[in-house]
Amino acid sequence: MTSNFLSALAGKRPEITPVWFMRQAGRSLPEYRKVRAGTSMLESCLIPELAAEITAQPVRRHGVDAAVYFSDITVPLKLSGVGVEIKPGVGPVMEKAYRSAADIQELIAHEPGDASAITAGVKMACAELDVPVLAFAGAPFTLAAYLVEGKPSRDHLAARTLMHSDPESWFALANWCAKISIEFLKAQIEGGARAFQLFDSWAGSLSRGDYVRYCAPSSALILGHNFTVPSIHFGLGTASMLEDFALHTNCVGIDYRTDLSEAIVRLRRAQQVSGSTNPLVVQGNIDPALLACSPEILDPHVDAILAAGQAADAHIVNLGHGVPKDADPDVLTRLVAKVHES
Ligand code: CP3
């Protein structure tokens, strides 16, 4: 299988620019809501046939160049026996918040658990699709933010307090999160996933110093693990730590708040300083808010991102965060065609 997505990840600019969307599987698609009806989010992730079907839906509809596997960053928590559910419209909610040293000792005693349903689902998706399946996992800080808070939060205050007040417990927690995310990725790669993305969605609530000291080491355990497939490293609101995000990965995901041209200039400079000869590959960063604008507004924005991406060795087009729930699927289909024709 030749894949423009995999060529780009390898640093070779393909003739046709690859495009996929974070959160393309689910959410805005009517065919998703139909097959998911009556099954909870985490339950559906553990039914291989259903997860494979949802993974394939956006590829059939939009013609995207990669199929992100339908699952959730909290699935490895559930597989390890931790009490978690995804409340519609709220997000991941834990049975309890893990805050004290004793809570964390209790948590990290959980073993990763059986991920064979994930491997089976990825296998089914791979058998159907002629584009690569992309595995993913949550970065330790983003997972730990849910575990320590017990629920979604705006500024992740309790997690940030813990890393300073009890670094020993914090590092034990972050390393355990890395361990379960590694097992989750292994299960997907064993099923045939050809690349993976590490999501650090909440890293933007950290100072660069705190990210580097308390979170980068456990993320590096995942990115630096000897997986056989390339990686993409994405964080939201991470402009202050872009150079740190570029370590140990093949491709940096740029969020919508960061200027793509500026990001490429900075990443090039960091490569020159370190003497790196790796290709510079970026992913991003269409502002999801503009999907609801008229083509007269959206199209020039996309053109500008395509032009900016030329300064990298290769560019994978994506949004600068996930597809909004109420996005019009036809806008995404048109966007894929536009990127492919560019
Ligand atoms: O299409 C894809 O990208 C693949 C599947 C995927 C889901 N979650 C499915 C999902 C992926 C890659 C994720 C990752 C994820 N999950 C992240 C990182 C990416 C990001 O968006 O920043 C985070 C932070 C989570 C945790 C999570 N799960 C949240 C915040 C929510 C939203 C809650 C809501 O309803 O608004 C979920 C639920 C979730 N994960 C849904 C889907 C399709 C919605 C569930 C539904 O449709 O009922």
The string of pLDDT tens digits covering residues 311-325 is 999 999 999 999 999
Which pLDDT score is estimated for 277?
94
Q: How far is the CA of 144 from the centre of ligand 1 (A)?
A: 16
Q: How far is the CA of 25 from the centre of ligand 1 (A)?
A: 9
Q: Tabulate helix, strand, coil % of the chain (nearest 5).
A: 50, 15, 35
The span from the CA of 300 to the CA of 225, in Å, is: 40
Which pLDDT score is estimated for 282?
98
- The vertex-66 CA angle with 62 and 67, nearest 5°, equals 80
The span from the CA of 159 to the CA of 147, in Å, is: 8
The span from the CA of 54 to the CA of 220, in Å, is: 30
For a ligand 1 pocket test, name from 19, 24, 29, 41 the mutation site with the most ligand atoms within 8 angstroms of its C-beta. Answer: 41
Q: How far is the CA of 15 from the centre of ligand 1 (A)?
A: 32
Q: How far is the CA of 72 from the centre of ligand 1 (A)?
A: 6
The span from the CA of 280 to the CA of 243, in Å, is: 12
Q: How far is the CA of 279 from the centre of ligand 1 (A)?
A: 30
Which pLDDT score is estimated for 86?
97
Which pLDDT score is estimated for 28?
86
Instruction: Tally the residues of the chain.
Output: 342
Closest approach atom of ligand 1 to CA 58:
1
Task: Answer whether 70 contacts ligand 1 (Cβ < 6 A).
Answer: yes
Which pLDDT score is estimated for 1?
65
- Give this prediction's pTM: 0.97
Task: Answer whether 132 contacts ligand 1 (Cβ < 6 A).
Answer: no
Evaluate if residue 37 carries a pLDDT over 80: yes
Evaluate if residue 27 carries a pLDDT over 90: no
253 bridge partner residues: 234, 283
Q: What is the largest CA-CA distance in the chain?
A: 56
Cβ neighbours around 13 below 10 Å, total:
16
Task: Name which residue sits closest to atom 23 of ligand 1, judged by CA.
Answer: 73
The span from the CA of 279 to the CA of 267, in Å, is: 11
- Quote the percentage of the chain above a pLDDT of 90: 98
Band the pLDDT of 26: cuts 50, 70, 90.
Answer: confident
Q: How far is the CA of 39 from the centre of ligand 1 (A)?
A: 15
Task: Name which residue sits closest to atom 8 of ligand 1, judged by CA.
Answer: 72
Phi, psi (degrees; rounded to nearest 5) at 261: -60, -45
Q: How far is the CA of 218 from the centre of ligand 1 (A)?
A: 22
Task: Answer whether 57 contacts ligand 1 (Cβ < 6 A).
Answer: no
Task: Answer whether 204 contacts ligand 1 (Cβ < 6 A).
Answer: no
- The vertex-224 CA angle with 48 and 72, nearest 5°, equals 30
For a ligand 1 pocket test, name from 73, 93, 156, 184 the mutation site with the most ligand atoms within 8 angstroms of its C-beta. Answer: 73
Closest approach atom of ligand 1 to CA 201:
22
Report pLDDT digits (tens) over 154-194: 999 999 999 999 999 999 999 999 999 999 999 999 999 99
The span from the CA of 312 to the CA of 326, in Å, is: 32
Q: How far is the CA of 22 from the centre of ligand 1 (A)?
A: 9
Report pLDDT digits (tens) over 64-108: 999 999 999 999 999 999 999 999 999 999 999 999 999 999 999
Q: Could you tell me if residue 333 is left (phi over 0), alpha (psi between -120 and 50 degrees) or otherwise beta?
A: alpha
Band the pLDDT of 20: cuts 50, 70, 90.
Answer: very high
Task: Answer whether 119 contacts ligand 1 (Cβ < 6 A).
Answer: no
Which pLDDT score is estimated for 243?
97
Q: How far is the CA of 108 from the centre of ligand 1 (A)?
A: 24
The encoded tokens of residue 92 equal 């991941």
Task: Answer whether 26 contacts ligand 1 (Cβ < 6 A).
Answer: yes
Task: Name which residue sits closest to atom 37 of ligand 1, judged by CA.
Answer: 91
Give the 3-state secondary structure of residue 238. coil
Alpha-carbon dihedral of residues 296, 299, 301, 305, nearest 10 degrees?
-170
Give the pLDDT mean for 216-235. 98
